[in-house]
Amino acid sequence: MIQDANLQESTGKKPTPLSLSLHRDSVPIDLGLLASQIAVCGYAVVQGAGHQRDQLAELATQFGNIQFHERSASDGVVEIESAPANGNTDAQFAGQGIAAFPFHTDGSYLDEIRQIDRDVFVRVNPPRGLVIQCVRPAQFGGNLVLCDGLAVSRAIQAESPGLFAELRRFDVASVCRGGRICTKFPVFGYGSLGLKVRFRSDHFLWADAAGKFAVEELVERYFQDESFQTEVEMIPGDMVIIDNHRMLHSRKAIVGDTPQGRLMRRIWIAAETEYLFARSGATTQQSYLEDATVDDYRTVSSPLPFRDRLQWPTVGGSSHGA
């Protein structure tokens, strides 16, 4: 059952996972119910959705087009295997180890322009959503933990308006990852669908002197507060759909796992803020950032539009005020 949004916020009750099936010869998945669950809670658990790789993409594409990751396969899927042998020897992909992995927005480092065709460019931002599929859980530990950024933002605005204003500053935080130029962003921003939370709390995050204290207070006082968190235990075949612009997610430490380890699959759903540009009258493929003006470009379409039949819900209103 989907809980009423007002009841959810006033009582703090956790949502009931949806027990649905993707198998067309049984009960078809109710996409409207799924969207309602995401609108209220920021995520939805689909029990028994299937453990096959193609079933993950099947569910994700009901919400929009796939956004590819630098480590994803041709179908957009990334396999995340957390085994003791991996440890945390590769800090770049520490999520593949067994230690607890802190709260983060997937793709928090993304703010790029990529050329996808002659004179055609796409702006790449963090995905709007992600779907995680459980193939093989850890023997002990390793549960997914979600933190509701919308609830956190409301609490901060009510309790510490000054802190919220600092976290809204456009350059309060930066993520430097994989040799890229640092991406600066506010922790709490707004887009066409409302609130957008962007954050990660590991060694890739940087903040200036003023921002450092704000970020530390945010983590210690709010993100670590269990009243904003939901722990999700998954078994093989379960999937969870997460609103990546609202919810942060983390993983608990894995204890005494087998050498085979925990195996999850993940796929990204593209954000509505990815814009496609084409240069008017261009004759070369040289970088347009060097000598072009805004008038040299025209928006030709949204390259990764959401399907008309199922839109992501508006999150927290569209007001840009603090």
Assess if residue 296 is contained within a domain. yes
Q: Is 50 within the bounds of a domain?
A: yes
Tokens of 317: 């209103």
Q: Which of 154, 151, 175 is nearest to 163 (CA)?
A: 154
Residue burial 217-234, b: 16+ Cβ < 10 Å; e: rest: ebbeebbeeeebbbebeb
- Residue 322 in any domain: the answer is no
Residue 48 burial (10 A CB sphere; 0-12, 13-18, 19+) = middle
Contact 68/90 with Cβ under 8 angstroms?
Answer: no
| pLDDT tens digits, one per residue of 69-108 | 777 888 889 998 876 554 444 444 555 678 888 899 998 8
Find, among 42, 35, 48, the residue nearest to 238 by Cα. 48
Q: What pTM does this model have?
A: 0.77
Q: What is the pLDDT of residue 83?
A: 65
**58 part of a folded domain:** yes
User: What are the beta bridge partners of residue 276?
Assistant: 122, 301
Q: How many domains does the chain have?
A: 1
Q: Are 276 and 302 in contact (CB under 8 A)?
A: yes
Q: In terms of C-beta density within 10 A (0-12 exposed, 13-18 middle, 19 or more buried), how is residue 74 classed?
A: exposed
Bridge partners of 249, per DSSP, are 104, 146
Domain membership flag for residue 311: no
Query: pLDDT for 186-221, tens place per residue?
Result: 899 887 677 889 998 777 777 777 788 898 999 999
Residue owning tokens 């065709």: 117
Residue tagged 């204003």 (tokens):
165
3-state secondary structure of 192: coil
DSSP for 260-276 reads: T-EEEEEEEE--TT--E
Give the span between the Cα atoms of 46 and 232, in whole angstroms: 11
User: What is the percent of the chain with per-residue pLDDT over 90, rounded to a whole number?
Assistant: 32
- CATH number of the domain bearing residue 240: 3.60.130.10
Stretch 142-159: mean pLDDT? 95
Q: Which domain holds residue 186?
A: 5-301
Tell me, yes or no, whether 315 lies in a domain.
no
